[in-house]
Amino acid sequence: MTRIEWQDSMHALQSGPMDAAHQEFVALTNALADAPDGEELARLTQLFVHCKDHFAQEKTWMETSRMPGIDNHLRDHEGVLTLLESAAADLRGGQHGAGRDAAESLAAWFGQHAATLDAALAFHMQQVAHAGNSGIPAVG
Ligand SMILES: [Fe+2]
Ligand SMILES: [Fe+2]
139 within a domain of the structure (yes/no): no
Ligand 2 centroid to Cα of residue 132, in Å, is 23
Ligand sitting nearest the alpha carbon of 113: 2
9 within a domain of the structure (yes/no): no
Going by pLDDT thresholds of 50, 70 and 90, the confidence category of residue 10 is confident
Q: How far apart are CA 8 and CA 84, in angstroms?
A: 26
Ligand 2 centroid to Cα of residue 101, in Å, is 21
Output the pTM of the full model: 0.91
40 within a domain of the structure (yes/no): yes
pLDDT, tens digit, 9 for 90 and up, residues 91-125 = 999 999 999 999 999 999 999 999 999 999 999 99
Q: Say how many domains are in the chain.
A: 1
Ligand 1 centroid to Cα of residue 69, in Å, is 16
Contact, 87 vs 97, CB < 8 A? no
Q: Which domain holds residue 19?
A: 15-133
Ligand 1 centroid to Cα of residue 88, in Å, is 21
Ligand sitting nearest the alpha carbon of 117: 2
Q: How far apart are CA 100 and CA 98, in angstroms?
A: 6
Ligand 2 centroid to Cα of residue 118, in Å, is 5
Average pLDDT over residues 18-39: 97
Q: How far apart are CA 4 and CA 9, in angstroms?
A: 14
Neighbours of 132 (CB within 10 A): 13
97 within a domain of the structure (yes/no): yes
Q: Does 65 score more than 60 pLDDT?
A: yes
77 within a domain of the structure (yes/no): yes
Ligand 1 centroid to Cα of residue 121, in Å, is 9
3 within a domain of the structure (yes/no): no
Specify the CATH number for the domain of residue 88.
Answer: 1.20.120.50
- Those residues whose C-beta lies under 8 Å from the C-beta of residue 103, and which sit 6 or more positions away, are 1, 2, 29, 30, 32, 33, 35, 47
Is the Cα dihedral 21, 26, 27, 32 positive or negative? positive
